[in-house]
Amino acid sequence: MKLQNVFGNTYFVKGGTNTGVYLFENNEALLIDPGLNGLRPKNMIKMFENEKIIPKYIINTHEHEDHVAACGQIKHSYPKVEIIASENAKIFIERPELFSDFILGGKHNKFLTAKLFHRNVEKIYVDTIVDEGTLNKNNTNFEIINLKGHTLASIGILTKDGVLFAGDLLVGEEVLNKYDFLFLQDVEEYLKSLDKIQSLDFNYLVLAHGRKVLDKDSTMLLINKHRQAIYKYLNQIKENLKVPMNIDTLLKKIIKENELTYNYKEYYFFRTSLVTCISYLADLDEIDYTLEDSDLLYYTKIK
């Protein structure tokens, strides 16, 4: 395991979730999304010890376990590290069972817990809440950008080296080609966040889930592919709902039409994204619902 330099003092550590590292002049560090707990953070801590790097801050782009679970492990080794997140992310980071409740739409169960949570995750507490604007740490400015959509708590971090960490707003093209039905909590906010990134002044993007660092031109192309994926599913939903149907029947058709693979967790992730898309189309007054024979059916409005 080693630090990969992006530009200037901005680095990252490769992994299932790439971890951002900004090195200050005194060899203290700000980490972005430390990832899952277990062997990887253990090896990352060894690397820090070998390089005489002291993690001083951790910023979480959002609350999902594959981004935040290692916070407790790093905090155990570096008790003075300051854990930072948005206000909404703090709620879910400190009470992860709420995410399971949200996904199911009620009390979480053992089936989802087995898929969603890894064992031996230390309790995590967020020390500092941030919102959009300038964050100064160690006399260095970082820009915090609200990037809602994937979750309502999502933020991005832009270093003074012009390197952007955008959490799960974007995934690598190889991931997108495989899983283009993106997990979203708010389609409208997600599309706004894509627009925001396009107008942002940055030079490089480090994907949380991707194999390479992107320059700005490559990022613009990837943004367009994400936008196309969103509209692909919105159009499919409207087409399918020319015949009224309930959520689970519609989800079955979406899964079959796109040959999506899934387990228990991913089924509910897809269902959440589908409900989110339906809410977006309802807000646009493009679909409506009816109650028939003890069922709730959605349908596309004829204009």
Q: Domain holding 99: CATH number?
A: 3.60.15.10
Within a domain: 236: no
Residues 130 and 178 in one domain: yes
Question: pLDDT per position in the chain (303 positions), as tens?
Answer: 889 999 999 999 999 999 999 999 999 999 999 999 889 999 999 999 999 999 999 999 999 999 999 999 999 999 999 999 999 999 999 998 899 899 999 998 888 887 776 555 678 999 999 999 999 999 999 999 999 999 999 999 999 999 999 999 999 998 898 889 999 999 999 999 999 999 999 999 999 998 889 999 999 999 999 999 999 999 999 999 999 999 999 999 999 999 999 999 999 999 999 999 999 999 999 999 999 999 999 999 987
Q: Looking at residue 145, what is its pLDDT?
A: 97
Tell me the one-letter amino acid at 174: E
Residues 147 and 252 in one domain: no
Within a domain: 55: yes
**Total domain count for the chain?**
2
- Tokens representing 259 are 């040959």
pTM: 0.93
Spatial separation of the C-alpha atoms in residues 3 and 44, rounded to whole Å:
9
Spatial separation of the C-alpha atoms in residues 216 and 192, rounded to whole Å:
18
Residues 178 and 280 in one domain: no
CA distances for 227 relative to 54, 107, 146, 188, 221, angstroms: 39, 33, 18, 11, 10
Residues 226 and 249 in one domain: no
Within a domain: 238: no
Q: Looking at residue 183, what is its pLDDT?
A: 95
Spatial separation of the C-alpha atoms in residues 50 and 119, rounded to whole Å:
28
Residues 36 and 164 in one domain: yes
Nearest CA to 164 out of 224, 214, 222 is that of 214
Residues 166 and 271 in one domain: no
Residue 276 structural domain:
243-300
Of the residues 183, 201, 230, the one at which a domain ends? 230
Within a domain: 104: yes
Residues 64 and 16 in one domain: yes
Within a domain: 15: yes
Q: Looking at residue 211, what is its pLDDT?
A: 83
**Contact status, residue 161 vs residue 8, Cβ threshold 8 Å:** yes
Strand order in the sheet with 4-7: 4-7, 10-13, 19-23, 28-32, 54-59, 82-86, 128-130
Within a domain: 282: yes
Residues 154 and 252 in one domain: no
Residue showing tokens 């992994």: 15
Q: Give the β-pairing of 10-13 and 4-7.
A: antiparallel
Residues 43 and 126 in one domain: yes
Within a domain: 35: yes
Residues 164 and 260 in one domain: no
Q: Looking at residue 185, what is its pLDDT?
A: 95
Please give the torsion angle defined by the CA atoms of residues 117, 122, 127 and 133, in that order, rounded to the nearest 10 degrees. -40
* SS3 state of residue 56: strand
Tell me the one-letter amino acid at 19: T
Within a domain: 160: yes
Residues 108 and 199 in one domain: yes
Residues 177 and 257 in one domain: no
- Tokens representing 112 are 């989802």
Q: Looking at residue 60, what is its pLDDT?
A: 97
Type and span of the H or E element at 82:
strand 82-86
H helices present in the chain, as ranges:
39-50, 65-68, 71-77, 87-94, 97-104, 110-116, 173-178, 187-198, 216-240, 247-258, 264-283
